[in-house]
Every structure is written in C-alpha cells, then in structure tokens.
Amino acid sequence: MRISRETLIHEFELFSTGNPGIESLVSQNSEPMIIDRLCSLSEQPISKVQFNQLMLLALESGLSDGFFQYYWLESPSQHPYSVQAVPGFDGSFLTTTKIETLSQLKWGLYRVYVDGLLFRGGVRRFFREFCNKTHEEIVSFFAKKRTDTAAVKKRGPTMPFARISKDNRYLISEMACKSYGDLPGSASELKNALSEALRDHLGRGGGIVKVRDLLDGTYVKQKYPQTKEMWLFSADDMLDQEVKDEAELQARYSKVALEFQNARKAALENTRLYLSMVNDLDVYVATRMRTRSDFRKMAEDCEAIFTNDKLLGLHLRYFDPTMSAAEGHQDKGLIECLMVKCAKVLVYCAGVKESYGKDAEAAMALSLGKPVIFYCDEEQKRRFFRDVHPLSRLINFENGVAVGAMVADNIGAVIDLLNRTFENTMEYTLEQPKPGYLQLKERLTSSVVRLQTNDKLLSEAFWNYYKSAR
C-alpha cells in the first residue's frame, strides 16, 4: 500500500539531520524522485541497484553489494552488539535479497547511524569510509571490535591473591603507611605523637583516657595540626580503647601496627600479582577511600559485582583498590596508569567527594576510548546529569570520537553493563533531541555515550584540524 509524502517524511525524522547525503535521504528537501519511490516501497521492493540510484540522487556515494547485504539483509553474528536488538528488527529481513518494507529500510539505517557514531564519531564520515568495502572487509573490521568472549572464559581463574580482612583493608592506605612506617620497627610519627600526648595528659594529672581523646586533644591539635586527621584514620581500630600508662598504650599500638604490617605485606604481594597479569586485565576499579567504612564498602561492592553469577563464568581479571599497595606514591601512580591503559573497562565508584586521582583515571580511560561505568547512588546520578560532570564527555585521542560514560545508580546495573560489554550484547538508542543533533544512548542507563553536533562550524573545524593538531 502506497503511503503519503507526509507520512514518509515523519517516519524518517530521526535520520534527517540537515547534513548532506545519507543524512538527508528522506526530508522536506529530498529529491521528489526519492520520495516518490520510497512511498511505493511496500508495493515495489528496492534492489541494491535502485538503492544506489536513490543514494546518488541524494548526492551520496553508492554502496557495495557487501555493505548492502551487511546492513539490510543479514544479522551478522560477529558484530560488537546484537543487531537484532536494534529497534524494528524482523526475522523476515533475513530471508530476502531486497529492501521490502520501510521497517527494513529504517532498521538498516539505524544500524549505520549507530555504527557511525560508535566507531567514527559521525554518520556520513562512517558511511563514506565503509560504503564501498567488501563484505569480508566489513566483517573483519567489526570482528576486531568485539570482545573474544570465548577466549575470556577459557582463561580460567588467576593465581590466588593474598587475603586481607575487609576490616583491615584501610591499613593498606598511604595514610596508614605514613602513620606506621614502611617496615617493622621503623620510626612511627603516630607512635611518637601518642606517647607525647599521653605524657602530657598524665603530667597534667589526667587518668585513664581513650586513644581517640589523645589524638583529638589539645596537645596533638597544637603540635601536629596537619596530621591529626590522618592519624585518626590510621588508628581507627584502637580509638575507643582506654589506656592508663605508657605500657598499655604501647600494647594497644603494637597490636594494630602488626595488623598494618601483615596487611601491607599482603597488599604488596597482590600488586606483584596484578602486574603479572596486567596484559590480561579486564576491569580497573577507580575510587576514592578516605575512611575505614569507605574501604569496607569498596571491598563489599567489588565482591558483590565480580562474584555475581552473571560474571563468574567470565573469570574477569579486575583490580580491587582495597587489595593493593605500592612502595611509594610515585610507583603507585605508574602502576595505576599502566593498569588503566591495559584494562578493557573502567568502573568509577563515586564517593561523597571526588578526587583528582580518580577523575584523572576516568579521564584517561575515556580518552583511550574505553567503556567507563560511573557507579553512584540515585541522588548522585541526578546531580551528575544536572551539573554535567566534566568527565561525562571526552574525546578518544586516537580517532577524535566523542566518548561518554555510562552512569549506573545500582550494583545490578554495573553487573549488567559489564556482562553486556564482555558478551557483546550492549544495546543502544538513537535520539535527535534537537534538529540535527544526534545522541547515542546506552539503553539500560540512558547515558549518552556518543554524539554528533549540529554546529556545522564546530564539526568542520574539528574534523579538518583534529588529526593535524600537535
């Protein structure tokens, strides 16, 4: 049944950006012959030869047999995401040699637009590059963009990591290291400060006192104003314990210092294991931990995510920040940069406050074009979108494609996103929120992961000079 011109143009509004060629195939300004032919599509299917004629009438390049087959006549099994999850799919598309319905035409265009935004940062840029490639060349290109899920599953588990009690994970922090010293028996500013504060307390006639009150008292505040908070964090396990003399204080301190030494030794061993598998690292977890409860929560979240049934079979190699330490902060920086570079995905766990280090890691991953998942609670997610976090959109430095983070407000969504990433089952929604401006959203979280601006000057300047800029 023939449809009207108005109905046709309305059906293809999503694909009409005002840009030339394929992005204006169906619009108010389209060549009348194109409109007339497409209005009768249900009565007269369109062959590849006729489709090329329509493209040329739209001042666009023609396309190869392979491109036509790949996008309109088949559901390729080696694509980076499930093309059958693309809106409008119908199994009948795979049993014909022509475009027989508007739904089939739209399904193929939708796929071209998604791939253009995902892999080249622009629909027409992608189309012009790929439209004349052979079927084999197209299949080969996209196969390389997939995770080799079978190979990931075959790897099996890694060598076991040294265990550290969740309650003691906070002791691997740099703050704890600065407080207790690197080695057993090394000088400890925390130990000295506690002894001085106790002597001052007893000298003023004080009796039994809590460790917390010594560190939060006048003596420490006046003599060590810059390190008091660090010591309160590092001494968390003994803060509410009471002491009456130096011997009792040393006993309390020594117990926690021994736990610190054991935790640090295990964390250093774990770092060596992380480095030994860095080339196989799947997920880097970035976070900011400033309290003991932060460390507990992060440890619990990592366990909940990576031991979930949806991910267990993948044997994902992931970096747990509560299990690793370095000999110094400079080495720590080098180690973490290497892991971000090698990991396939970064999970950014938001806290009450953000930090330069964590933000830099997320920015690095986005700039490398890697999938980045922001995990935060519902209120933080609303604030994230309202304030437009500066890391929400960055540029893949290699190819200039705008890359956006996926923002999840619950652990279940993080698990699903990781599962979809490594199983190649990610789903996307194409939108045009304002004329000519395209957004590609990850469907589960409605996060904008790619975009194409409608600012023609910006677009021309960007693509003309991005690669030549030094």
Domain boundaries, the chain: 5-146, 168-263, 278-423
Residue 372 has pLDDT above 70, yes or no: yes
Question: At how many degrees (to 10) do helices 48-57 and 32-39 cross?
Answer: 150
Q: How confident is the model at residue 212 (pLDDT cuts 50, 70, 90)?
A: very high
pLDDT(465) > 70: yes
C-alpha distances out from residue 29 to 21, 415, 431, Å: 12, 46, 21
pLDDT value at residue 157? 85
Q: Could you tell me the two tokens for 444?
A: 């589960």
pLDDT in tens, 41-96: 999 999 999 999 999 999 999 999 999 999 999 999 999 999 999 999 999 999 99
Q: What pLDDT is stored for residue 21 in this prediction?
A: 96
Would you put residue 166 in left (φ > 0), alpha (ψ -120 to 50) or beta?
alpha
Judged against a pLDDT cut of 60, whether residue 390 lies above it is answered with no
Mean of the pLDDT values across residues 197-218? 91
CA distances (Å), 264 to each of 158, 231, 339, in order? Answer: 21, 17, 20
Looking at residues 439-465, what average pLDDT do you find?
A: 94
Name the nearest CA neighbour of 402 among 367, 427, 434: 367
User: 3.30.1330.10, 3.40.50.450, 3.30.420.340, 3.40.50.2000: which CATH number matches 278-423?
Assistant: 3.40.50.450
**∠ at Cα 142 (437, 445), nearest 5°?**
50
Q: How confident is the model at residue 359 (pLDDT cuts 50, 70, 90)?
A: confident
Yes or no: say if 22 and 130 are a contact pair by the CB < 8 Å rule.
no
Show the tokens assigned to 174: 């740099």
Q: What does pLDDT average to over the chain?
A: 92
Find the mean pLDDT for residues 214-239: 90
SS3 188: coil
If you search the block for the tokens 């390389």, which residue do you land on? 144
- Kindly indicate the confidence band of residue 184, based on its pLDDT and cuts at 50, 70 and 90: low
Judged against a pLDDT cut of 80, whether residue 467 lies above it is answered with no
Percent of all residues in the chain with a pLDDT value above 90, rounded to a whole number: 79
d(CA 257, CA 263): 10
Mean per-residue pLDDT, 277-290: 93
Measured between alpha carbons, how far is 423 from 344 in angstroms, rounded to an integer? 13
Mean pLDDT, rounded, for 173-202:
84
Q: Rounded to whole angstroms, how far apart are CA atoms 55 and 36?
A: 14
pLDDT in tens, 244-283: 999 999 999 999 999 999 999 999 999 999 999 999 999 9
What pLDDT does 469 receive? 57
Tell me if 415 sits within 8 A of 421, measured CB to CB: no
More confident position, 387 or 49: 49
- Strand 318-319 relative to strand 283-287: parallel, antiparallel, unpaired? parallel
Q: Is the pTM of this model over 0.95?
A: no
Question: Across-strand partners of 403?
Answer: 394
% of residues, the chain, pLDDT over 70: 95
Residue 209 DSSP code:
E
pLDDT tens string 106-135: 999 999 999 999 999 999 999 999 999 999
Which is more confidently placed, 421 or 386? 421
Residue 358 has pLDDT above 90, yes or no: no
For 262-273, how does the pLDDT look when each residue is reduced to its tens digit (9 = 90+)? 999 999 999 999
Tokens of 377: 């609670």
Pick the closest to residue 25 from 129, 114, 108 (CA basis). 108
CA-nearest of 317, 368, 386 to 160 is 317
At residue 80, the pLDDT reads 97
pLDDT, tens digit, for every residue of 295-314? 999 999 999 999 999 999 99
Residue type for 41, please?
Answer: L
Beta bridge partners of 283: 318, 345
Q: What CA–CA distance (Å, rounded) separates 354 from 289?
A: 10
